[in-house]
A and B are shown apart, each in its own frame.
Chain A
Amino acid sequence: MSTAVITAWSAVSPYGTGRAPLAAGLRGRVAPPESAGPEEWTAQPDATARLVPGFEVREALGKAGTRGMDRLTGLTAVTVRELLTHETAALPEGDLGTGVVLGTAAGSAQGFMEFTKASLEGDRPIDVMPSKVPNMAMNRAASASAIRHALKGPNTTVAAGRLSGLIALDQAVRLLAEGRAERVVAGSAEEYSAIRAHLTHAAHGDALVLGEGCVMVLLEPGDTATGRPLAEVLAVHHRVAPQGEFTEVLTAAVRTALAQAGVEAESVWAAVPGEAPGVAGAQERQVHEDLFGPQVRSRAASVALLGETAAATGAYQLAALLSEPGAPGRIALVTATDPDGPVGCAVLRLMTDGEST
């Protein structure tokens, strides 16, 4: 059986729309600028974050079918559009169709709370905004992307905090291995909102700068891929450290993933941690120091450049690897930890020199 290969990717990031600005920013190790957060009912005027510059859903996607669409859905739909219209040739749609697997933390918490607020404050509790109703389903971003591009395969929304990107990749690989989709668009997304800022700052301190965005990759079975393989997904393995024993459990997860991939820790060319806030991130960095030398640890860009990107982090880590030049065939690895317990590791073989991407 063949493994899955990534044949294209794109993004909407604080560097701008599309793959190129993100790849250039990460390759150059330049942090994107901070800007003021959008005006919302709970916003603090002095809050700043690394936002997608000037991103307005309806300007980015046009007015058709976007009335009331939340920012998370907009970021995802634009990323999928960039991926399918600029990074790939026309895809033949077979019987199984193209699947979508999107990782999210909690949908749009801002959108949910605004809806509830309207119900609480309206003359009647049903005085909520009808155009926002489709956002109330947490699968809106994945399904709206499917609707806009007629992607009729499995359509999965997976929530696992900061592991979301890694688990989306895993689910996508499995759908291909099981023959449940011809190809899968997979990744993860996070929107900036005042609510998310309050939730995150209350949990991890006010100093944390939030980021946002979306990265999606196109996965195809290795033996039938129509695009040029950029990377092969060798293994994904995840576990839970329910008592906060991240070092021990993440080490086990990395060793298992490497064993499944059939590679030694010494042959890893680049290792990119998820940079979780707090003790999870500190223990994750320790695991990397224990397992990998300084060169390996600094070879690809750190996703810390983007700020705290929560559910989008895993997909940004893939982007960091796919953006970094090197000799074809190099082995790369990402790890992820979530302060609530999940930890995981993905091992890839990068198949191009990375320059052209």
Chain B
Amino acid sequence: MSAAEAAAAPRRVVLTGCGALSSVGNGVAEFTAALRAGRVGTGPITVFDTTGFPSGRGHQVHGFDAAARLHRVRPEHTGRATQFAAAAARMALDDAGLDEAWLRERRGTVVVGTTDGEVGELDLLTESALTIGLGAFTGAALGGTATGSLALGVVRELALTNVESSTIATACAAGNYAIGAGFDAVRNGRAEWALVGGADALNRKTFAGFARLGLIAPDECRPFDADRVGLLTGEGAGLLLLETEESALARGAHIYAEVLGYGLNCDAAHPTAPEENSVARCIRLALENASVKPEEVDLISAHGTGTPTNDTTEIAAIRQVYGDEAPRTVGIKAMIGHTMGAASALGAIASALAIRHGFIPPTANHRSTDPECAVDVVPNESVPADVRIVQNNGLAFGGNNAVVLLGRHEDRGHEDRGHEDRGHEDRGHRSRGHESRAHQGHGNESPRGEYVR
């Protein structure tokens, strides 16, 4: 960055386009309808052979016709995660009412978060190397298995060149990391637009790892439920088109939400288990960066994996910041599974949809809230609500935390975002519904609790 760039005042950053691929629907319209309906996308995994695994269930993307979705990226030469990223980017562009030419005329940034990158391609390479030996390694395999190919796939699909491109591999918090990077770039004038988010594809390697840890639920993922036993792996992509408020207003774009700020930190404690105080610190960093007070937050889109310890630790951290008046806190992984690097990007899109359409997506598959997760999880059915500010959590293996704050865009200038007079009527609704639900004893302390993300 140059001194000239740095001298410019920070700009407001808004979200004007969303692209989503998930087990409950492709495209923002299907995704919205599914969230509203509380639809659950669990089914048998078919992208790799699940024979012999304790369970073969997960959240697979269906009806994805790569050749139809992609104009330039050739599906036959491209890994599944890169296809997802490129297709979701094109969806976000269309959704924003923009075209490639608009992007090309301006400096932009493309940042795609991922857990596994193209590990699915490495799985296939392993299989063929075991069968045919070293002949399996072709000249295209180096680039095709490189993690950076996800962001490059977006760049190629849209034929961009004056663009920064990077893939962020900060595991399951990567989507929020990417959104943060795009936010900073647009906010400070290093880019006029950002295509950011996350993508991952189901693969044997990660499935086997979670299964070995005993973290995979046998039937459904039940975040915050007293009887939750684990996660379900999923796949998909969420890409967001960010631009300046000035640009969006000038072209009359429909603004989903304003990106208010974010926080990043690292537990620096344990490779796989989360740390309550550190997660709470990350939430506070995000609130501070966004200039949002805890009482102004209407909804938390939780990381909520459905593993015993993630959920307990995450809720404890939320309660540390918010006290007994924690906002409604939902786990959309019950519906779409744990989409890894895409998870917090899809969470951000769900947050934006909640703001735009005035509803709170539910925590599906819910039976009875764990007393250790004492928040209103909005069980099973979405509810209409005046949602103005949403906190979107992403927590990863390695203790990598990332929290993004989105708010309804209110065109009131820079001094006052208009928080003061906000929705007290809604506050009264903040039901403590779980309190009235009977709680089953949950004496069985599972060791799986340690592995949470």
Contact = CB atoms under 8 A, between A and B. Distances in A.
Nearest to B270: A147
A120 B130 contact: yes
B433 to A, nearest CB: 35
Interface in B121-148: 122-123, 125-127, 129-130, 134, 137-143, 145-148
Which of B115, B117, B160 is packed against the most chain A CB atoms within 10 Å?
B117
Q: Range of interface residues on chain A?
A: 35 or more
B166 to A, nearest CB: 5
A202 B267 CA distance: 40
A136 B53 contact: no
Contacts of B161: 239-242, 249
A240 B271 contact: no
Interface stretch (A223-231, A291-299, A325-333, A337-345): A337-345
Contact of B396 (A137, A144, A199, A341): A137
A340 B165 CA distance: 12
Given A160-B167, A261-B2, A203 B142 contact: yes
A156 B54 contact: no
Interface stretch (A5-13, A49-57, A123-131, A315-323): A123-131
A105 B1 contact: no
A138 B1 contact: no
Contacts, number: 267
Interface string A191-234: 00000001111111000000000000000000000000000000
Interface stretch (B21-29, B32-40, B207-215): B207-215
B160 A134 contact: no
B147 A138 contact: yes
Given A133-B212, A134-B271, A121 B130 contact: yes
Contacts of A44: 134
A134 B143 CA distance: 25
Interface string B178-197: 00010011001000000000
Contacts of B50: 125
A339 B156 CA distance: 14
Interface string B141-180: 1110111110110011001111111111111000001000
Contacts of A240: 152, 155, 160-161, 163, 165
Where chain B touches its partner, the secondary structure class is mixed
Nearest to A144: B271
B2 A125 contact: no
A265 to B, nearest CB: 16
Contacts of A341: 152, 155-156, 165
Contacts of B162: 239, 252
Contact of A133 (B4, B118, B165, B209): B209
B6 A134 contact: no
B399 A125 contact: no
B52 to A, nearest CB: 5
Nearest to A100: B266
A126 B130 contact: no
A342 B285 CA distance: 33
A143 B400 contact: yes
Interface stretch (A15-23, A30-38, A83-91, A111-119): A111-119
Contacts of A109: 122, 145
Which of B6, B127, B161, B163 is packed against the most chain A CB atoms within 10 Å?
B161
B204 interface: yes
A123 B178 CA distance: 39
A54 to B, nearest CB: 26
Interface string A136-163: 1111101110110111111111111101
Contact of B117 (A96, A138, A155): A138
A139 B2 contact: no
A42 B270 contact: no
A159 B147 contact: yes
A71 to B, nearest CB: 16
B31 interface: no
Contacts of A338: 148
B382 interface: no
Contact of B168 (A118, A137, A156): A156
B398 A137 contact: yes
Interface stretch (A173-181, A266-274, A281-289, A348-356): A173-181
Nearest to B111: A158
B126 to A, nearest CB: 4
Nearest to A173: B1
A199 B137 contact: yes
Contacts of B4: 260
A158 B152 contact: no
Given A1-B6, A113-B126, A116-B126, A158 B143 contact: no
B166 A159 contact: yes
Contact of B169 (A154, A159, A161, A252): A159
A171 interface: yes
A104 to B, nearest CB: 7
A284 B211 CA distance: 46
Contacts of A143: 266, 268, 271, 397-400
B143 A203 contact: yes
5 contacts: A142-B398, A144-B398, A152-B268, A174-B184, A178-B184
- In the A-B complex, the 9 residue pairs with the smallest Cβ-Cβ separation, listed nearest first, are A143-B398, A159-B147, A260-B2, A154-B264, A155-B266, A138-B169, A203-B142, A134-B271, A119-B208
